[in-house]
Structure 1
Amino acid sequence: MKYDLRKIMLRAWRLYRENKELSFGECLHRAWLSAKAEEVNAKRIEAAKATAGVEEETNTWSGWKKLGYEVIHGSKALFGADLIWGSRGDGKVYKARFFGRSQVQELATA
C-alpha cells in the first residue's frame, strides 16, 4: 500500500501545533498510526454496513456536521463499528455510530 506522505506530514504538523506538550516525533508517530488505521477502519465500516444491510450513504454524527448536515433529533444509529483512532497515539479501539442520509437535514443557516 502506498501512503500519501504529504497528508501524513500535514497531519503531524497539525497535531504538533494543537498539542504543544507533544514532541514532533510523537506527532509524526500518531500521524503514521492514523494513516495505517484508515484502511483497517474502511474495511470495518464496510463490513458493519453490509452486516446491517444498509445501502444508503452513511457517516458519523461529526462527519455529517463537517459536510453541512445535522442528524435529526431522536434518530437512532443504523449501525456501529469499532475503529482505531491513531491520532491519540494509543492504538485503542473506539466505538463509532453511523447515520444514514435519510436521517440528516441541512444545517439551518442564520
Structure 2
Amino acid sequence: MKQYDLSAIMSRAWAIFHKGGIVFAEALHRAWQSAKARPQNAAVIAAAKASAGIAEDCKTWADWKAAGYEVIHGSKALFRTVLIWASHGDGKTYTASFFGASQVQPIEA
C-alpha cells in the first residue's frame, strides 16, 4: 500500500487554491494528482539519466534555483525527458530539461 505525505499534499492544495481561479476541491484534486504522478516521473527521470550515461546529480533549472544555484549561461541540458504535469489537473505532459551539478554555480547575493 502506498504512503503519501498528507501534510505536503494539503499544503500544495492550499498553495494552488491561493493562486486563485479555482475552488478548493479542485485544488485538492490537483494536489493529489501531482502526488500520484511523482513516482512515475521519478522512474522516467532515472531511466533517462541512465540511458544518457550521466552519473552526477541532475535537476531542472527551477529545482537548481530553488536550491540556491543558477545554471551557467550557455550551458546545454544533459538530457531531456517527458514528464506528467499533474498539477494542472489535465494530465498533460511536458518536456523537462536537466542540468548537472557541474553546470551550476551558487547564486550571488
Q: TM-score, normalised by structure 1?
A: 0.95
Give the secondary structure class of the aligned counterpart of 2:40: helix
Give the secondary structure class of the aligned counterpart of 1:90: coil
Give the secondary structure class of the aligned counterpart of 1:12: helix
Q: 5+ residue gaps in structure 1?
A: none
Read off the aligned partner of 2:3 and give its amino acid letter: K
Q: Percent sequence identity over matched residues?
A: 57
- State the 1:56 CA deviation: 0.2
User: 4+ residue runs of structure 1 moved beyond 2 angstroms?
Assistant: none
Give 1:97-108 correspondences, 5 Å limit.
97-108=97-108
Partner Cα separation in structure 2 for residue 6 and residue 103 of structure 1: 33
Q: 5+ residue gaps in structure 2?
A: none
Partner Cα separation in structure 2 for residue 62 and residue 7 of structure 1: 19
Matched, 1:56 2:56: yes
Q: Which residue of 1 aligns with 2:9?
A: 8
Partner Cα separation in structure 1 for residue 34 and residue 83 of structure 2: 11
Q: Which residue of 2 aligns with 1:80?
A: 80
Read off the aligned partner of 2:54 and give its amino acid letter: V
Encode CA deviations 1:4-33: one digit per residue, 9 max, x unaligned: 1111111111111112x2011100110000
- State the 1:54 CA deviation: 0.2
Range 31-40 or range 5-14, more displaced: 5-14
CA RMSD of aligned residues (A): 0.7
Give the secondary structure class of the aligned counterpart of 1:30: helix
